[in-house]
Amino acid sequence: MIGGGILGACVGWNLTRYGAEVVFIDAGRPGEGVTNWSFSWANASNKTARKSYFDLNVAGMAAHRELARTIGPDSWWNPSGHLRWADDPTAEAKLLETADLLASWDYRAEVYTGAEVRRRLEPALTVPGEVPVVFYPDEAWVHGRHLVGRLVGQAVASGAELRSGTTVCDIGTGADGSIRTVALSDGSRLDVDVVVNAAGPGAAHVAELVARHLPMRREPGVVTRIDCAQVPVHRAMHAPHIEIRPDGDASVVLHSREIDALIDTGEDPTELAQLLHGLARHVVPELGTSRITQTRVVDRPIPADGYPSVGAVPSVPGYYEAVSHSGITLGPVIGRLLASEILSGKRDELLADFRPERFHP
């Protein structure tokens, strides 16, 4: 397993359960890549552009619930729903139109007023009383690093091996082109039957090791954590201009697509964090006394057309990809489907639109 983020952890955990011998290899430490720097909102409401992608994300949310039943929700699974509202008429009309579309697809969406939200769900918000707020009760936020810790820990307890702090720098193939070995930066070499490229933003580089071109977008994001004596919000939310979610009992995570757009203008990440904090204070004044503790700019792992690349690459027998944005939502379902494909050779219809062969078959 090349990469121990949420995708590698989910595939590896499932393979171990089915009795396969798994070695997790991570250049850093499992769960500390993009998975730890994500808004981490498990949803399908933001995935309406293509129905098959929406369906995959709905399956992703169901797979999270199943996983929580299997390993326990612990601190990683936070099914508290999601709130979204807008501050201009065009965006508000779009939001309500999307909620209607989702309801017609049997996806639960409830519309409240700002006043009702403050009374029933989030007293600390400044959302105006008459503004419509869409509540998606089946959505959640995920503590990605904690989930990865649980999955890799369980897999290792069942016999998997973990090699952290070492990079896959070469992949060897046999005369028939099938995967035989991986070479690591610590000088060791492993004999393998299968490799799974779950290297997140490093996936294009790993694909090159088997002479494959995996085109990826460059789309960086900036995420900030702030410490609070008491976390004043109870769930993830998209307020106008800023996304806010709890991150445990004493921390809040902030992100904004509008602030991401400033990354390439050369703004210092510390300044970007201040901007995020300013936007958040506007929505939740209590966050004004909190302190910025960590900020990171990371690249989203997005194949060039914006959709996941999951499954076998038939021209390189034994080589599989698990590369996706929305990996927090999709990790458990991709993990289950890909592990089953690796062991049985059967390809699930849910992944039909997201096969690696669509790039340079």
The residues binding ligand FAD (CB under 6 A) are 2-8, 25-28, 33-35, 37-41, 144, 167-168, 198-202, 206, 221, 223, 255, 298, 300-301, 324-329
Of 149 and 202, nearer to ligand FAD (C-beta) is: 202
- Considering only CA atoms, which of 168, 1, 29, 9 is closest in space to residue 76? 9
Q: What whole-number distance in Å separates Cα of residue 304 and Cα of residue 204?
A: 11
72 conformational bin, left if phi > 0, alpha if psi -120 to 50, beta if neither: left
Q: How far is C-alpha 165 from the chain's CA centre?
A: 22
Q: Which residue is nearest to ligand FAD (CB)?
A: 5
Inter-helix orientation angle 51-71/327-344, to 10°? 80
Q: What whole-number distance in Å separates Cα of residue 169 and Cα of residue 162?
A: 17
Q: In angstroms, what is the minimal distance from the CB of 320 to ligand FAD?
A: 13
Q: What whole-number distance in Å separates Cα of residue 222 and Cα of residue 261?
A: 9
Q: In angstroms, what is the minimal distance from the CB of 102 to ligand FAD?
A: 17
Of 99 and 323, nearer to ligand FAD (C-beta) is: 323
Q: In angstroms, what is the minimal distance from the CB of 113 to ligand FAD?
A: 26
Of 7 and 239, nearer to ligand FAD (C-beta) is: 7
Of 118 and 160, nearer to ligand FAD (C-beta) is: 160
Of 225 and 300, nearer to ligand FAD (C-beta) is: 300
Cα torsion through 169, 207, 15, 41, rounded to 10: 110
Of 118 and 138, nearer to ligand FAD (C-beta) is: 138
Q: In angstroms, what is the minimal distance from the CB of 148 to ligand FAD?
A: 8
Q: In angstroms, what is the minimal distance from the CB of 61 to ligand FAD?
A: 10
Q: In angstroms, what is the minimal distance from the CB of 164 to ligand FAD?
A: 9
Q: How far is C-alpha 58 from the chain's CA centre?
A: 14
Of 16 and 35, nearer to ligand FAD (C-beta) is: 35
- Considering only CA atoms, which of 361, 358, 336, 359 is closest in space to residue 346? 336
Q: What whole-number distance in Å separates Cα of residue 99 and Cα of residue 83?
A: 12
Q: In angstroms, what is the minimal distance from the CB of 198 to ligand FAD?
A: 5
